[in-house]
Amino acid sequence: MSTPCYLAVDLGAASGRVIAGHVENGQVTLEELHRFPNGAVNVAGTLRWDVLALWNEIQHGLTIAAEKFGKDIVSVGVDTWGVDYVLLGQGDELLGLPYHYRDARTDNIMDVALSHVPRHKIFEQTGLQFLPFNTLFQLVAMRHAQPRILDAAERLLLMPDFFHWLLSGSQVIEFTNATTTQCLDPNTGTWADDLLRKFEIPTNIFPEIVPTGTKLGTLRGEVAHKTGLGRINVVAPATHDTGAAIAAIPTQHTGQPNWAYISSGTWSLMGVEVPEAIVSHRALELNVTNEGGIDGTYRLLKNIAGLWLVQESLRAFAQQGKSLDYEQLQNLARDAQPFRSLLDPDDSAFLAPDDMPTAIAAYCSGTGQPEPETEGQIVRCALESLALKYRMVLGWLEELTGVTTEVIHIVGGGTQNALLCQFAANACRRPVVAGPVEATALGNVLIQARTDGAVGSLSDIRKVVARSVELKHYQPDNVDAWDEAYRRYHDLLAIPRR
């Protein structure tokens, strides 16, 4: 008897993949079929996404899937990062290559927006943290710099929804990614039209919001023919990659805020699972966000810069002719002096620097600390600072929910950085459970399987993951030294104690 196969198209900021998932006997297995590069493309001084090249790669991966699994394939679904979007004009014409969230057009745009609508009014209607690259601010930037393009738009699709349109013709936005835009009202589950009108953003371009797991239709005829897949279903998983990853955390406490998660990769998304959005004044002060999950849950979380600092440092080392891999960097960092210099990973200096090690050295020098001089010192500075930021954010989450966190689950590529996982346990004084690495793809596949009737609730999805993956456990160690480092870190960031 054949095993049903579900195809996950998982697009990250650095690479994309087409993955086959099989669900059988209460377990799930994954097989990577095609991997391809992704990243910002410099176009006349702007940063863009080459969505046409990505679409070619996706079709190639789907062709490989058809050749290997044929009629066992049930459906396909796409997940990507949040906030970025594609505009379609008359006759569904693509209105230019979409902007990358690190493009400079949003520099200082929050100041412009907040001079027009107060911060608390935006937060009351969206519940989202304030980041300059949120969809709302990208649209404000377009209204100011390129109003004719915005006026010509007839449809806005977020990145995964754009690829679902290419696959099936659907023009909708899935709920979890809609909640990343700062254009959605979490109290009503609908677009914040009143807020959008205040910024002269046309509300008619925003499509219907559909629930996670919605069947969007079948493959377009030409795509079905080209790939050999036939008219399989196109299903919207949790299209925001973090939403998919959190769905695949093997916790036994679904819907309760007594455990925290870190979706660790280029970004670290740290949060707790709550039954409804928290939009209190204190939540606004702490600049946390409320993003939608599945089965009526919300992700109360904070975006932290994540392993971006290490990735960009590695790139800079390579440009200097130093051939190092991530494992070598971990070993160098492990041997470096502890707590020599610390930084705020979310400082604007690290958003898109030309040279990350130089930016790190300048930050340390500017705050009266020794400049990191070696590769090990640079990476240790980044990893220790990330772990200490986790502790700070954990305290905020516990304050907002009134619930003590018992354990931290880390999922995603960052689980392969054992040093960071141990640092997180030490800094936060909490046990850490690391895994699965492939949380996003697992969540994507299992949500499709649930739509197909092969899996039940969110809790059931997590039980399948727990039976299918190997987890690593880290216990807090050397906590007194980390407590002292945290006091120093707290003062460095100049955040008032409460």
| Residues with catalytic roles | 241
* Assigned token pair, 349: 């200096």
Distance CA 182, CA 125 (A): 9
Q: State the DSSP string of 52-107.
A: HHHHHHHHHHHHHHHHHHGGGEEEEEEEB-SS-EEEE-GGG-B-SPPBPTT-GGGT
DSSP states of 403-462: ----EEEEESGGGG-HHHHHHHHHHHTS-EEE--TTHHHHHHHHHHHHHTTS--SHHHHH
Alpha carbon distance 158, 156 (integer Å): 7
DSSP per residue, 432-443: EEE--TTHHHHH
Is the Cα dihedral 59, 64, 65, 66 positive or negative?
Answer: positive
Whether residue 439 contacts residue 265, with contact meaning beta carbons closer than 8 Å, is answered with: no
Determine if residue 317 is left, alpha or beta; phi over 0 gives left, psi from -120 to 50 gives alpha, anything else beta: alpha
Q: Are strands 5-11 and 73-79 parallel, antiparallel or unpaired?
A: parallel
Helix 326-335 with 375-401: angle, nearest 10 deg: 90
> Residue 378 and residue 360: Cα distance in Å, rounded?
7
Q: How far apart are the first and last CA of the chain?
A: 61
How many CB atoms sit inside 10 A of residue 478's CB? Answer: 12
Longest dimension (CA), the chain: 67
